[in-house]
Amino acid sequence: MKWNQTHALVTGGTRGIGRALVDLLVAKGAAVTATGRTLASVEQARQDCPAAHWIVYDQSDANQRAGLVEKIQGKGINLLIHNAGVQQLHDFTQSEVLQFNTELETAINFTGPVELTKSMLPHLRHQANARLVFVTSGLALAPKRSSPVYCANKAGLRSFAKSLRAQLRHAQWPIEVTEALPPLVDTDMTQGRGRGKITPQAAASQIVRGIESGKDEIYVGASALLRVISRISPSLAEAIMIKR
Nearest to 138 by CA among 123, 154, 127: 154
Task: Give the tens place of pLDDT for each residue, 136-167.
Answer: 999 999 999 999 999 999 999 999 999 999 99
Task: Give the tens place of pLDDT for each residue, 73-123.
Answer: 899 999 999 999 999 888 888 866 667 788 999 999 999 999 999 999 999
- Residue 186's pLDDT band (boundaries 50, 70, 90)? confident
Domains of the chain and CATH, by start: 3-241 (3.40.50.720)
| Per-residue pLDDT at 183 | 94
Residue 69 CB neighbour total at 10 angstroms: 17
Question: What gap in Å lies between CA 70 and CA 38, rounded to an integer?
Answer: 19
- Measured over the CA atoms of residue 224, residue 21, residue 79 and residue 208, the dihedral's sign is negative
Does this model's pTM top 0.75? My answer is yes
- Residue 10's pLDDT band (boundaries 50, 70, 90)? very high
Interacting residues of 222 by C-beta distance below 8 A, sequence separation 6+: 138, 183, 184, 196, 198
Task: Give the tens place of pLDDT for each residue, 201-216.
Answer: 999 999 999 999 999 9
